[in-house]
Chain A
Amino acid sequence: GEDVEQSLFLSVREGDSSVINCTYTDSSSTYLYWYKQEPGAGLQLLTYIFSNMDMKQDQRLTVLLNKKDKHLSLRIADTQTGDSAIYFCAESIIGGSQGNLIFGKGTKLSVKP
């Protein structure tokens, strides 16, 4: 079945780069997403990548997709304390529960000053 795996915790120092990794199982995924959840809030869509792309850059965010290994990563350059949050990887499946997302359990990013 579909599954999305992420490491649960990541700690970095302010100003460093953060790399959050994700693996997924369904090769028919069309889009892959990164969501950010701040304490007590809902999920905010950060960025997404279409499955026929290898890389997408959006200001401080870089998404890398390795379809062969079913590996997705989110790099945050110059990480700030305001980036401290839980980051969720998610995939959308065509032909399955149409229009629905399968989420990882989330990676808690802690940024130390």
Chain B
Amino acid sequence: NAGVTQTPKFQVLKTGQSMTLQCAQDMNHEYMSWYRQDPGMGLRLIHYSVGAGITDQGEVPNGYNVSRSTTEDFPLRLLSAAPSQTSVYFCASSDPRGSGGYTFGSGTRLTVV
């Protein structure tokens, strides 16, 4: 099993550009989430989904959009990149019928210049 796959691993954007961070899981997990990790800030929840067709905002949703058309995929879209969005982004998935522990992808390191 691949687990949670994130692409790309690294990305540099110019201010104002848009892009989509891809996330796919092959464990048939209902729950998926996007977190950003910044130095000294820990992990902060951006958006999450409890199933296909259902998404909701987390702690820091501004500037990001998500959709969940399938169980497997949960892309994160940056609408107009800003330097404040320079961060490491992690996608995670979970089976709510289990212990609830999330499986994380290896992350996307994004730099906005």
Annotate A11-39 by CB proximity to B: 1 below 8 A, 0 otherwise: 00000000000000000001101010000
Query: Once the chains bind, are A97 and B45 in contact (CB under 8 Å)?
Result: yes
Size of the A side of the interface (Cβ < 8 Å), in residues, is: 22
- Chain B residues whose CB sits within 8 angstroms of the CB of A33 once the complex forms: 101
Q: Which of B's residues lie within 8 Å of A, judged by CB?
A: 4, 30-31, 33, 35, 40-43, 45, 48, 50, 56, 58, 90, 92, 94, 96, 99-107
Q: Does A98 contact B (CB under 8 A)?
A: yes
The secondary structure that dominates the B interface is strand
The secondary structure that dominates the A interface is strand
Query: Once the chains bind, are B42 and A88 in contact (CB under 8 Å)?
Result: yes
Shortest A54–chain B CB gap in Å is: 17
- Chain A residues whose CB sits within 8 angstroms of the CB of B41 once the complex forms: 105
Whether A105 contacts B104 in the complex (CB less than 8 A), given A100-B45, A100-B58, comes out as no
Shortest B24–chain A CB gap in Å is: 14
Residue in contact with B101 in the complex, picked from A31, A97, A104, A106, CB distance below 8 Å = A31
Query: Once the chains bind, are A48 and B48 in contact (CB under 8 Å)?
Result: no
What would 11 A/B residue contacts be, using CB atoms closer than 8 Å? A35-B104, A42-B105, A43-B90, A43-B92, A43-B102, A45-B102, A92-B100, A101-B100, A103-B42, A105-B42, A106-B42
